[in-house]
Structure 1
Amino acid sequence: MERSAGILLPIFSLPGPYGIGTLGAEARAFADFLHAAGQRWWQILPVGPTGGGDSPYTSVSTFAGNPLFIDLDALGAQGLLTPDELRAARLPETGRVDYDALRRSRETLLRKAFSRLGGARAQTVRDFTARNPWVKEYALYRALKRHFGDTAWFDWPDEALRRHESAALEHWRVELAEDVAFHAWMQQVFFAQWAELKAYVNGLGIRIIGDLPIYVSLDSADVWSERKEFLLDSEGRPSKVAGVPPDYFSEDGQLWGNPLYDWVSQKADGFGWWIRRVEGAGKLFDAIRLDHFRGLESYWAVPAESETAKNGQWEKGPGMDLLGVLTSWFPQLSFIAEDLGILTDAVHDLRNASGLPGMKVLEFAFDRPDNAYLPHNYASHCICYTGTHDNDTVLGWYTHAAKAERDYAESYLGASGEEPVRRALLRLGQGSVAELFVAQMQDYLGLGSESRINVPGVAEGNWRWRMESGCDTAALAAEIKTLTHTYGRC
């Protein structure tokens, strides 16, 4: 990556009248803001349909897009929704995503739009499904979930269906044909709208950084339809699940519960599933952050019956066997190693061998002069962040920091007090030797902990913050551009 700067803002955090950020006018307006601010990267979070806890990291498909992000105004312009229906879909702008309200209303509205499809649009959906084989399995999975009362696939009453046997699949494709077609249509709309948005963003000289979670959910179309890729028993249940050991985020560790990969089997077939996965992500993003990079060197495996992640053990990951395949197959993509957490020399060696830039988080930096996250210790081949989606905002961090940490930060920055420290930290990141500097949008807006996106280890209340309409002003863009230009990142 050339010397540049970007801003982290999830799609769901965009403002707008429909209760959640979408791929419509507000996304283009934010791209215009980035351009005016001299930024060359827009970093987002995973965009798949969310599962438990509304987390983008617990998607029910690694390939699908989130239908909640569909631009309703575009459907209105196509005659698929009426002006009255669009007015009724508007929700008060509270600064928070109300997922329960969206679940109650959005699918009903989209089904109305689907019912008005003409023959030409229906053929477009069929063509899209033929070009993207994952859609067929995903759409059936979603239709079956609805039919069986939203229960997990491993609890469905039809054993042959749980085992993904072809005769059962064909029976249910016919039985639920209309619902299958509806879910396929939503994916066609999402990807068509995304392609238009990405073309607009790229046309401004801005590239998109997306996030590829290392694991997928047990209750997902991926595990149900491609069970051989995962370590599961004959009933589709894992004996060990993913997580991380106790660390600075949680004294019990984090018990994620995702199934683990059968790395031996995946290596034997040349990591074909991963190639297809990254190929799909490459249609959405220009650069991909590889989530939980250290799990590719060795990963924390926890007995499935455990209530916390404390009782896990480290097991060997695929390392360069996988990374070498991905970087050679996709030379047009930039990859970022999310090398945070408990790191060892082996993890550092893997990152160096892969040639990927790692992450430096300023909020982790202020305890001692030899801290690797302090800019005077950087090599240039890295990405500097104020904080990630898992961290507090700069103001929130400063407010809640221990006295020793705050004192050292003030000494290092030559500033004290909330506003001077916020500005000094942004200046520190911009002025670092890191190839790319990324700040959360909240940090440029000067927001506190109320706008934090996620608290790791806390199950409820995350992934909800939305930027208020009108916050991304021309004056703020000019201020950011001046700072970015000063440090040679425009």
Structure 2
Amino acid sequence: MTPAAPGHPLLARRTSGVLLHLTSLPGRHGSGDMGIAAVHFLDWLALAGQSLWQILPLTPPGAGHSPYQSPSAFAGSPWLVDLDDLVACGWLAPLPDAGFDTRHCDFARVIPYRLRALRAAWQGFSEHAGEPEKAALADFTHHHSEWLDDYALFMVLQARHGPDWPDWPPALAHRDPRALQSVRDETVGELGFWHFVQWRFHVQWQRLREEAHSRGIHIVGDVPIFVAHQSADVWAHADQFLLDAQGLPDVVAGVPPDYFSATGQRWGNPLYRWDRMALDDYRWWKQRMAHLLTLVDVARLDHFRGFEANWKIPANEPTAQGGHWSPGPGRAFFQSIREELGTLPIIAEDLGIITEDVTRLRRACGFPGMRVMQFAFGDNARNPYLPHNFGRCTVAYTGTHDNNTTVGWWANASENERQAARQYLGQVTDSEIHWAMIQSLSQSVANTLVVPFQDVLGLDGQHRMNTPGQPEGCWSWRFAWADVGDEPARRLSSMLRAHGRA
């Protein structure tokens, strides 16, 4: 299979960016959102010479507040909606300070608080919105009906019957048309609420994206390969997933034992029936990718190796150790999507156990792969995560949202790893390890460099975003502007200019 040239122009020139999810932004409503702090962060990125802002999935979080276990592969997270914008629209009364932690998302408090505010805004909209606003909502609802109708109905039914859709009354679980229409007729107002929330998400996000583009900054989004079992997508397209007659998974997704976990990772997502998806030419995936590319400029495709082969775990196994590899759809899948959507601006997340078949697939598609420098110091000079081994079609990271911060990694590194790092980077001090790694990556031939914001600020392991395999207590990190100061932006900008990335 002949390697392809780098596909998309944004990924074929020297650029750099910062990884930070919106929930980590400052703000007085308990978590970051699409409000003024997001615009201020764009200003900071521009000051730091950045042209990319990488985020985590924009979809609603699910189990453990993870954005990788969403109840929808299409919907925007309601908890990212800027409440102050709803106040400015005249649909929501000004909100008093609720006393939220400024450096931590207390989701148990934040989500009910934001839900109450959104419902109040929907009531205000229903009573006070003018005809142009109501027409805009109706137009949005019609334009996005292919996914929005199922998502809104799913949210209504979860509130009525519980989170596990196979446990709903059979007529609803298995989507009897008359039963579903009866619910729609009874819950017009509640369905309207979920339509309204998605409309405001869309309006606010497109406004924020335009602000980014006006500063020369492009958005790198994230596509989890799998979707949650408790999702509108699996409920509405059950025939395209490996489920039993009751709608429960026979097998679930994960990865075998690796760097992150000695027992592997049992994610629990249902696996696709790729053969069934091929029959309609991957229509659901094409809709998903087309929708995403109206929201972001580049997409990081999570767990790319799953398109070559995925780890299939019997649903009754408590860990990932009892799984086995099962073929994915391969190159035909990407060729089909490209025929409809054109050149795909995709970063392939190819970390973990990567075979030559996976590498051939990535190269044939023309997608850059990822290299994480925290993995570089375990063996010898041929380690593929060392910068001198990179190719141009590469996205280089100090770490990702799944890694410890670089300062935290350094504090826990073995003496052998530290010695190897000093030999490679020079005799760095503990306080400069993050800058030494950023500089080494920036000097490499990799076209794209992305650095977690925690590493730009030199924060320790208490500030990591996620610990793989840990079901609770993740995703909650936030920063305050007082943590930032002027020096990181100045230093990062100067470094990137010197290396042709600004």
Q: Which residue of 2 aligns with 1:143?
A: 156
For the Cα contact (< 8 Å) 1:4–1:435, is it kept in 2?
yes
SS in 2 for 1:87: coil
Amino acid at match of 1:102: V
Q: Does 1:401 align with 2:410?
A: no
For the Cα contact (< 8 Å) 2:102–2:479, is it kept in 1?
no
Q: Does 1:87 align with 2:99?
A: no
User: 1:213 deviation in Å?
Assistant: 0.1
Q: Does 1:380 align with 2:392?
A: yes
Question: TM-score of the superposition, structure 1-length normalised?
Answer: 0.97
User: 1:232 deviation in Å?
Assistant: 1.3
Question: TM-score of the superposition, structure 2-length normalised?
Answer: 0.95
CA distance in 2, matches of 1:181, 1:413: 57
Q: Which residue of 1 aligns with 2:68?
A: 57
CA distance in 2, matches of 1:324, 1:254: 30
The CA deviation string for residues 404-428 of structure 1, in whole angstroms up to 9 with x for no partner, is 0111001110023212222211110
The CA deviation string for residues 146-185 of structure 1, in whole angstroms up to 9 with x for no partner, is 112x3311111x2111001211110001112211111111
CA distance in 2, matches of 1:151, 1:71: 26
Q: Which residue of 2 aligns with 1:272?
A: 283
User: 1:125 deviation in Å?
Assistant: 2.0
SS in 1 for 2:222: strand
Structure 1: tracts of 5 or more residues without a match: none
Q: Which residue of 1 aligns with 2:110?
A: 102
User: 1:333 deviation in Å?
Assistant: 4.3
CA distance in 2, matches of 1:282, 1:365: 32
CA distance in 1, matches of 2:494, 2:184: 57
CA distance in 2, matches of 1:295, 1:463: 24
Q: Does 1:34 align with 2:45?
A: yes
Q: Does 1:128 align with 2:140?
A: yes
Q: Which residue of 2 aligns with 1:239?
A: 250
Q: Which residue of 2 aligns with 1:433?
A: 445
Q: 1:28 to 1:246 in 2, by over 3 A?
A: same
Structure 2: tracts of 5 or more residues without a match: 1-10
User: 1:486 deviation in Å?
Assistant: 0.8
Q: Which residue of 1 aligns with 2:189?
A: 178
SS in 2 for 1:235: coil
For the Cα contact (< 8 Å) 2:27–2:102, is it kept in 1?
no
CA distance in 2, matches of 1:191, 1:277: 15
Q: Which residue of 1 aligns with 2:330?
A: 319
User: 1:329 deviation in Å?
Assistant: 2.9
The CA deviation string for residues 4-59 of structure 1, in whole angstroms up to 9 with x for no partner, is 11000001111111111110100011011111111000000001111110000000
CA distance in 1, matches of 2:219, 2:482: 22
Q: Does 1:298 align with 2:317?
A: no
Q: 1:412 to 1:217 in 2, by over 3 A?
A: same
For the Cα contact (< 8 Å) 2:428–2:436, is it kept in 1?
no
For the Cα contact (< 8 Å) 2:206–2:295, is it kept in 1?
yes
Amino acid at match of 2:397: Y
User: How many residues are treated as equivalent by the alignment?
Assistant: 485
Amino acid at match of 2:470: V
Amino acid at match of 1:78: C
Q: Which residue of 1 aligns with 2:88?
A: 77
2:217 to 203, 206, 210: 206
Q: Which residue of 1 aligns with 2:346?
A: 335
Amino acid at match of 2:458: G
Amino acid at match of 2:334: L
SS in 1 for 2:23: helix
User: 1:119 deviation in Å?
Assistant: 5.2
Q: Does 1:417 align with 2:429?
A: yes
2:124 to 111, 116, 120: 116
Q: Which residue of 2 aligns with 1:222?
A: 233
Amino acid at match of 1:407: Q
SS in 1 for 2:321: coil
